Chain A
Amino acid sequence: MTESTPALLQIEGLKLWYKVYKNRAKVLDGVDLSVAPGQKVGLVGEAGCGKTTTVKSVLGLLPRGGCEIPAGRILYEGEDILGLTEKELTRIRNSQIAMIHQEPAAALNPVFTVGEQMMDVVRYSAQGRGYGKKERREIVLGAIRDVLIPDPERIFHFYPNQLSGGMKQRICIAMAVMTERRLLIADEPGTALDVTIQSQIHAMLEEMVAQRGMALVMITHSLGVAREMTDVINIMYAGTIVESAVSAEVFAHPLHPYTQGLMEAVPRLRGGGIQAGIYGSLPDYLAPPPGCRFAPRCPRAGDRCRAEKPALADLSGHRVACFHVGTDGSAKCQ
């Protein structure tokens, strides 16, 4: 990735704390993430590491009274989203960024037909304001057809519960891309589905994004999915990005101990048994470790790791947050 292309979305040092009674769950601890126009960026990490919190903060979908952002900026086309009013944020939501959620059954409203809720999306999008009902209907039918659902006229009048999981997710994709957007955030779009349907959905998503020249932020817990679908991968652990590089580079030379542990834990088709995995579990966000958040689970952790938080250092394009990785890109203590 060249630094000269201006980023579409740029998250800098984002910290986010959830309010928990008298305490604060310090979930995001300085997230850096950059998405160039048309780029496909993966955000990979295990359950509870803050992937969804990160993207929801971009769209302003987190409860305003329930969390605080003590530091950081979220720049969309150079404009800090965090300073915007709800009305200005709505303008970005209805013309710039769309999101696909993990659970299609929960993302669709059960008491409206597919057609009704899709019509609403067009109606409240910046682009759809000028359209009449008939034109909106045409856009919706075209969008249903685009995601390869036969007989759109019939599906238009269906309630979500009349559709299978794969069909519902395809409707969600159709909804996200049917009006012009520049950035699509997909939050584990295939995770709730069977593998054969998941690969169908991923192929469709790739095609839609490519056709429309949209940028994609793909959230997944699966390294394999990220490898297939993204140009750049960001590995997230306990609210920080620990490693970020071009996808092929991450798989060829994983540098962070967490990335390495994660890769070893994935069962391979070639066989070879199951490796040990990573010792321990995610830290308690109410009292996170003061230094590197991975230190309590890290086989290489030393005194410095436990006291000081490593910054995301740039090693000729491959960025990694670990004291044990030398400036030449080699891991010192391997």
Chain B
Amino acid sequence: MSIAQINSNAADPILQIRSLKQYFPLGKKGGQRLFVKAVDDVSLDIGRGEILGLVGESGSGKSTLAYSVVGLYRPSAGQILFEGEKIGARRPLPLRKDIQIVFQDPGSSLNPRQTIGEILELPLKVHFPALKSGERQKRVRELLQMVELPAAYAWKTPGAIGSGEKQMAAIARALAPGPKFIILDEPTSALDVSIQAKIINMLLRLRREHNLTYLFITHDLSLMRNIATRVIILYLGRVAEIAGTEDFFRRPTHPYTQMLLSSIPVLGAEDEALKPARILSQGEIPSPVNLPTGCSFHQRCHAVLDRCPGDDPSLRQIGAEHWVRCHRQ
């Protein structure tokens, strides 16, 4: 079965990714052209209203996948469909309005020399050129209210406010064009947990109020347990496991998923019981330039089989919404 069939049962997919490849050329070595295979043949559907948790370690290709979806990269191969229509890297304005992104570090994604008001006005100028200045100001105040910031913050610069507040301003900027789909690229991983809780609750409220769909990129599985509808594990540019959240945490199947889960420091015995027995990571995450032969995880795998180093497994379905790339299944 091809991976393109994943979630073909999703009644109303808002975004469909089909065999997406994102390779970055590194020049030649010994007559051979080298590539970083950041995203390697990823297919998935995101249903309208979903919160899809995209989880992986650094170098797994999570951000690259996100940038391809917003159109910052031209895909090396494969297709991205938004509401059934194929979209490329160059997009008409209305389409850009629909897909927005919030970056990980608000300190570097907001211009330090502009006020929050100016930062929020720019997308309004681009997407709603007919708005008069007064109407724009009013809209800026509404946006600040939506993210629970005081109206006076419109005159502050990013340097004058806390990092949690900066991230709220960045979320307001993403909301400014009135998007349908927002990519959240580790929006809370640079923040303290008490602030994270506040921002997550705000994101959940905004999703309800504005019928948003989120692709939530993170390395925090505990967080996904609480908010995602489905979870995808990405390893070296490929999908290792994908499942509905309940099923994912009841039956974590890929050895890499099990390793990730077992590495989470938890607060009590109840959570401890939900983790697989401790699996210590062996060795290092391989370089995406020199991918291992066969299954790309076999060098770190605690359940490796004889065939794993030579034979690359394909994604197999093991449940209604549950797919795993492993020979043991």
Interface residues of A (CB under 8 A from B): 46-47, 164, 166-167, 194-200, 203, 221-225, 227-228, 251, 261-278, 281
Q: Determine the residue in chain A with the shortest Cβ distance to B60.
A: A194
Q: Determine the residue in chain B with the shortest Cβ distance to A200.
A: B281
Could you tell me if A273 and B226 are in contact, using CB atoms closer than 8 angstroms?
A: yes
Q: Determine the residue in chain A with the shortest Cβ distance to B263.
A: A199
Could you tell me if A224 and B192 are in contact, using CB atoms closer than 8 angstroms?
A: no
CB B122 to nearest CB in A, in angstroms, measures: 27
Could you tell me if A265 and B225 are in contact, using CB atoms closer than 8 angstroms?
A: no
Point out the residues of chain A lying under 8 angstroms from B194, CB to CB. Answer: 46, 261-262, 265, 277-278
Is B57 among interface residues, defined by CB-CB distance under 8 A? yes
Known: A47-B192, A225-B265, A281-B164. A270 touches B259 (CB 8 A): no
Could you tell me if A277 and B280 are in contact, using CB atoms closer than 8 angstroms?
A: no
Could you tell me if B198 and A269 are in contact, using CB atoms closer than 8 angstroms?
A: no
Known: A195-B219, A267-B223. A200 touches B280 (CB 8 A): yes
Could you tell me if B197 and A166 are in contact, using CB atoms closer than 8 angstroms?
A: no
Q: Determine the residue in chain A with the shortest Cβ distance to B194.
A: A278
Show 30 A/B contacts (Cβ-Cβ < 8 Å), sorted by A.
Answer: A166-B284, A195-B57, A195-B219, A196-B263, A197-B57, A197-B284, A198-B263, A199-B262, A199-B265, A199-B280, A200-B280, A221-B192, A224-B267, A251-B267, A263-B267, A266-B222, A267-B226, A268-B222, A268-B267, A269-B222, A269-B225, A269-B261, A270-B225, A271-B225, A274-B197, A274-B223, A277-B195, A277-B197, A277-B201, A278-B197
Q: Determine the residue in chain B with the shortest Cβ distance to A252.
A: B268
Point out the residues of chain B lying under 8 angstroms from A221, CB to CB. Answer: 192-193
Q: How far is the CA of A231 from the CA of B225 in the complex (A)?
A: 29
Binds A, one of B22-30, B91-99, B270-278: B270-278
Could you tell me if B201 and A276 are in contact, using CB atoms closer than 8 angstroms?
A: yes
- A225-B265, A261-B194, A274-B223 given; 5 more Cβ-contact pairs under 8 Å: A221-B193, A262-B194, A269-B261, A269-B266, A270-B225
Known: A199-B281, A270-B271, A274-B197. A194 touches B57 (CB 8 A): yes
Could you tell me if A46 and B192 are in contact, using CB atoms closer than 8 angstroms?
A: yes
Contact of A270 among B200, B260, B274, B280 (CB under 8 A): B274
Point out the residues of chain B lying under 8 angstroms from A269, CB to CB. Answer: 221-222, 225, 249, 261, 264, 266, 271, 274-275
Closest 3 pairs (CB-CB, A-B): A277-B197, A224-B265, A196-B281
Point out the residues of chain A lying under 8 angstroms from B201, CB to CB. Answer: 274, 276-277
Is B196 among interface residues, defined by CB-CB distance under 8 A? yes
Is B227 among interface residues, defined by CB-CB distance under 8 A? yes
Q: How far is the CA of A7 from the CA of B267 in the complex (A)?
A: 28
Could you tell me if B219 and A194 are in contact, using CB atoms closer than 8 angstroms?
A: yes
Q: How far is the CA of A164 from the CA of B285 in the complex (A)?
A: 9
Point out the residues of chain B lying under 8 angstroms from A195, CB to CB. Answer: 57, 219, 260, 263-264
Q: How far is the CA of A281 from the CA of B204 in the complex (A)?
A: 21
CB B247 to nearest CB in A, in angstroms, measures: 13
Q: Determine the residue in chain B with the shortest Cβ distance to A222.
A: B265
Point out the residues of chain A lying under 8 angstroms from B105, CB to CB. Answer: none
Contact of B220 among A46, A267, A275 (CB under 8 A): A267
Point out the residues of chain A lying under 8 angstroms from B193, CB to CB. Answer: 46, 221, 262, 265-266, 277
Q: How far is the CA of A251 from the CA of B268 in the complex (A)?
A: 7
Could you tell me if B259 and A274 are in contact, using CB atoms closer than 8 angstroms?
A: no
Indicate the member of B194, B201, B204, B262 with the most A CB atoms within 10 Å: B194
Q: How far is the CA of A330 from the CA of B17 in the complex (A)?
A: 55
Chain B residues 257-315 with CB under 8 Å of chain A are: 259-268, 270-271, 274-275, 278, 280-281, 284-285
CB A322 to nearest CB in B, in angstroms, measures: 17
CB B150 to nearest CB in A, in angstroms, measures: 13
Q: How far is the CA of A270 from the CA of B280 in the complex (A)?
A: 22
Point out the residues of chain B lying under 8 angstroms from A227, CB to CB. Answer: 265-268
Q: How far is the CA of A277 from the CA of B164 in the complex (A)?
A: 12
Point out the residues of chain B lying under 8 angstroms from A194, CB to CB. Answer: 57-58, 219, 285
Could you tell me if B267 and A266 are in contact, using CB atoms closer than 8 angstroms?
A: yes
Is B129 among interface residues, defined by CB-CB distance under 8 A? no
Point out the residues of chain A lying under 8 angstroms from B192, CB to CB. Answer: 46-47, 221
Q: B180-221 toward A: CB 8 Å interface, digit per residue (1/0)?
A: 000000000000111111101100100000000000000111
Contact of B196 among A225, A228, A265, A281 (CB under 8 A): A265
Chain B residues 20-45 with CB under 8 Å of chain A are: none
Q: Determine the residue in chain A with the shortest Cβ distance to B226.
A: A267
Point out the residues of chain B lying under 8 angstroms from A199, CB to CB. Answer: 262-263, 265, 278, 280-281
Could you tell me if A196 and B270 are in contact, using CB atoms closer than 8 angstroms?
A: no
Could you tell me if A270 and B197 are in contact, using CB atoms closer than 8 angstroms?
A: no
Known: A224-B266, A224-B267. A276 touches B198 (CB 8 A): yes
Q: Determine the residue in chain A with the shortest Cβ distance to B203.
A: A274
Q: How far is the CA of A224 from the CA of B264 in the complex (A)?
A: 8
Is B162 among interface residues, defined by CB-CB distance under 8 A? yes
Q: How far is the CA of A262 from the CA of B194 in the complex (A)?
A: 6
Point out the residues of chain B lying under 8 angstroms from A197, CB to CB. Answer: 57, 281, 284-285
Chain B residues 222-266 with CB under 8 Å of chain A are: 222-223, 225-227, 249, 259-266
